[in-house]
Amino acid sequence: DIVMTQSPDSLAVSLGERATINCKSSQSILHSSNNKDYLAWYQQKPGQPPNLLIYWASTRQSGVPDRFSGSGSGTDFTLTISSLQAEDVAVYYCLQYYSTPYTFGQGTNLEIK
Amino acid sequence: EVQLVESGGVVVQPGGSLRLSCAASGFTFDDYAMHWVRQAPGKGLEWVSLISWDGGNTYYADSVKGRFTISRDNNKNSLYLQMNSLRAEDTAFYYCAKDGVVGPSGWVDYWGQGTLVTVSS
């Protein structure tokens, strides 16, 4: 199984500042047939189901603010929030869908400093 | 608007069985693979199972393989999860989730609100 490891587990960032969350896979999730990385990012606020932010490692889901961006390839990926807003307080998860069983990272708790 | 509504979550004794259902609307159900994902209270997300658009292929997490069975009825726009030999560690919110691409499975793009399964004596 592919293990997804996020860092840090918890992060406190000031409003308006940049937040960066990392996700590392135990093996490459770049598919050679289409040159796409099978990695998605989700945001989960308390009491709510997760919300899709990014897929194919860097494609923003429709309706997601452009302050959210994804980058990376192979085994190392990053979710960046360019200017943190109060409504961005949440837990963030990465997901690999390269192979079953699909696997999530353990989550990163993002707070306001 | 995509809607996924789970039902069937209850308190069940260890070793018991339960069937979860998910009613889907707002999209062409039989175009998409579907997933179940669970989350123990206060914990992270765990992918549970996937079924292809036609029900012909199913996949499971190692933690539930041999105990859980995913199925779908495309005539009823419904997804199911049969859960047998339940254990305390199966206690979680169970989310029904839609795949993000037509045909072969990809990422999860929409989630239901979840149904709580509690395994306790």
Rounded CA gap, A112 and B4, in Å? 32
The most distant pair of C-alpha atoms in chain B lies apart, rounded to whole Å, by 42
pLDDT score of B117 more than 90 = yes
Per-residue tokens: B12:
């069940």
Please give the pLDDT value at position B104: 79
Average pLDDT score, chain B: 97
Task: Please compute the mean of the pLDDT values over residues A32-53 and round it to a whole number.
Answer: 96
Task: Please compute the mean of the pLDDT values over residues A74-97 and round it to a whole number.
Answer: 98
In sequence order, the 6+-apart residues with CB closer than 8 A to the CB of B68 are: B48, B49, B60, B81, B82, B83, B84
Please give the pLDDT value at position B105: 82
CB atoms within 10 A of CB A76: 12
Q: Do A104 and B46 touch (CB under 8 A)?
A: yes
Q: Do A55 and B100 touch (CB under 8 A)?
A: yes
Contacts of B112 in chain A (CB under 8 A): 49
Cβ atoms of B58 and B103 within 8 Å: the answer is no
Residues of chain A with pLDDT > 90, as a percent, come to 100
| Nearest in space to B21 (alpha carbons), one of B67, B72, B55, B85 | B72
- Give per-residue pLDDT as tens, A7-27: 999 999 999 999 999 999 999
pLDDT score of A60 more than 90 = yes
Average pLDDT score, chain A: 97
pLDDT score of A73 more than 90 = yes
Q: Between A51, A61, A97, which is nearest B106 by CB?
A: A97
Per-residue tokens: B29:
């159900």
Cβ atoms of B17 and B86 within 8 Å: the answer is yes
Cβ atoms of A108 and A9 within 8 Å: the answer is yes
